[in-house]
Amino acid sequence: MQALLEAFRAALVSLLANRLRSVLTTLGIVIGTASVIAVVSLVQGFSESIKQQLAGLGGSTLTLEAVNTNENILFGKINRITFEDLETLRYRVPGVAAVAPVMIVQTPNISYRDRTVTSEVRASTADYAPVYGRFPVKGRFIASADDQGRRRVAVIGNELVEELNLPDDPLGEYIRIGSEWFRIIGVMEKQGDLLGFSLDNYVVIPFDVGRAINGNQLRPFMQVSFTIDDVDQVDAVRDRAKRAIQTARAGTADDDTFRIQAADSVVKQFEEITRTTTAVVGGVVGISLLVGGIGIMNIMLVSVTERTREIGVLKALGATRRDILVQFLLEAALLALLGGLIGIAIGWGAGALIASLIPGFPPAAVPIWVILGAAGFSALVGVVFGIMPASKAAGLDPIEALRYE
């Protein structure tokens, strides 16, 4: 330990003696680490913000949706989730708790006084709020009675208050959706935006009202999210639901026309994308770090030659091969680490700058493991590429080294 500390001191002294050269030498490592950190911070920031958007949709929420391949869409043979599927899920699958169907209503024009905007109109039930974990900040959500009574009421996304130029307290105001008038009973909590798109530009109306508006459109676009009684039973309930729907459809549809997945599987998909991107970037930049390592090896070889006499002196004073080896290895590692740290700082700054320059891009985030990894890896590069120069130094013959001019 004491010996290592000494070697560390010696390495530091020697690096400080050649400050400018030390910094220039590490340029390859600086650039390499800076690019990793910048890219990773952007990717991580991106995935963090997606995860936050999807937070609240835990592992106990499952979503039933139709699966359509490109071919299906091309030939107009589009698979959909039907009202029968909804009934099946509601009444024939034990373990299912709240069921919230969401049907898109095909009348996107919404007006208030002389303002008209386009928005997404979702028809759903009272279960929407608990299942999606989204609640109103003003007023109340749609109740079962609204559904049964086919009441023309609407809960609006936060963004619409401003878009439609509604009063600060819009409860009780009437908006027109398509050709029908709806009374506002609630305003939903703010979700923010994802990639520059607002997540608060929507209206929720009672499910049966939406069904009536869609009218003759027998097979509207619909997906059904549902919670389950016991979180540990997720897989069992999912299988049961799948079989029940297949049975109910009685062979009219294959099981690859729909799927049931956990809401957090979307998060998992994003994590997968993030991981892949990070790995690819890591690989590419790893190569640039190797180039940086060769730069370090080069300068260390020069340094060993320059200091041949000094090494001879140290050996005469009693330094063993190992002492010399450790000193030069540490010097190379320290040099690379220095480059790594400068690179981390630059990359961090660059990531934050880029994120702030692109409108709507989430803020960059640098996880601690990336910083530690980058620092550790650059030090490792130093050690690996320091081995050759260091063993050259350690193997010098003391007498020849002392006589070296």
Partner 1 sequence: MIAMRGITKRYVMGDQEVRALDGVDVDIKRNEYVALIGASGSGKSTLMNLLGCLDTPTSGSYLLNGRDTATLDDTELARVRNREIGFVFQSFHLLPRMSVLDNVAQPLVYRGTPRGERLKRARESLDRVGLGNRLSHRPNQLSGGQRQRVAVARALVGEPSILLADEPTGNLDTRTSAEIMALFDALHGQGQTVIVVTHEPDIAAHCRRTVRMSDGRIVEDRSNADRVTEHA
Nearest residue to 381 (alpha-carbon basis) of 284, 281, 299, 297: 297
Cβ proximity to partner 1: between 10 and 129 the closer is: 10
Q: By CB under 8 A, tell whether 392 contacts partner 1.
A: no
What are the CA-CA distances from residue 353 to residues 42, 99, 364, 368 (Å)?
Answer: 10, 44, 9, 19
Which phi-psi region, left, alpha or beta, contains residue 241 (left: φ > 0; alpha: ψ -120 to 50)? alpha
Q: Are 259 and 246 in contact (CB under 8 A)?
A: no
- Cα separation of 396 and 331, whole Å? 18
- Cα separation of 24 and 151, whole Å? 73
Using CB atoms within 10 Å of the CB of residue 338, give its burial: 0 to 12 exposed, 13 to 18 middle, 19+ buried: buried
| Binding residues among 299-328 for partner 1 as defined by CB under 8 A | 309-310, 312-323
Q: By CB under 8 A, tell whether 127 contacts partner 1.
A: no
CB count, 10 Å around CB of 178? 15
Q: By CB under 8 A, tell whether 183 contacts partner 1.
A: no
Q: Are 241 and 228 in contact (CB under 8 A)?
A: no
Cβ proximity to partner 1: between 13 and 280 the closer is: 13
We find the least distance from the C-beta atom of residue 332 to partner 1, in angstroms, to be 17
We find the least distance from the C-beta atom of residue 319 to partner 1, in angstroms, to be 5
Stretch that binds partner 1, among 9-17, 20-28, 244-252, 343-351 (CB under 8 A): 9-17
Q: What are phi and psi of 259, to 5 degrees?
A: -145, 155
We find the least distance from the C-beta atom of residue 316 to partner 1, in angstroms, to be 5
Cβ proximity to partner 1: between 27 and 313 the closer is: 313
Q: By CB under 8 A, tell whether 20 contacts partner 1.
A: no
State which of residues 11, 14, 62, 128 lies at the interface with partner 1 (CB under 8 A): 14
Which tokens is 380 given?
């490792």
Which tokens is 51 given?
């995860």
Stretch that binds partner 1, among 12-20, 138-146, 226-234, 257-265 (CB under 8 A): 12-20
Q: By CB under 8 A, tell whether 73 contacts partner 1.
A: no
Count of residues near partner 1 by CB under 8 A: 23
Cβ proximity to partner 1: between 230 and 397 the closer is: 397
Intra-chain end-to-end CA distance of the chain, in Å: 34
Q: Are 241 and 96 in contact (CB under 8 A)?
A: yes
Q: By CB under 8 A, tell whether 275 contacts partner 1.
A: no
Q: Are 274 and 43 in contact (CB under 8 A)?
A: yes
Cβ proximity to partner 1: between 122 and 315 the closer is: 315
Cβ proximity to partner 1: between 13 and 137 the closer is: 13
Cβ proximity to partner 1: between 143 and 402 the closer is: 402
Sketch the per residue contact string, 131 through 170, with partner 1: x for CB under 8 A, - otherwise: ----------------------------------------
| Binding residues among 205-244 for partner 1 as defined by CB under 8 A | none
Cβ proximity to partner 1: between 268 and 322 the closer is: 322
- Cα separation of 305 and 321, whole Å? 16
Which tokens is 170 given?
């819009």
Q: Are 160 and 200 in contact (CB under 8 A)?
A: yes
> What residue ranges bind partner 1 (CB under 8 A)?
2-3, 6, 13-14, 17, 309-310, 312-323, 398-399, 402
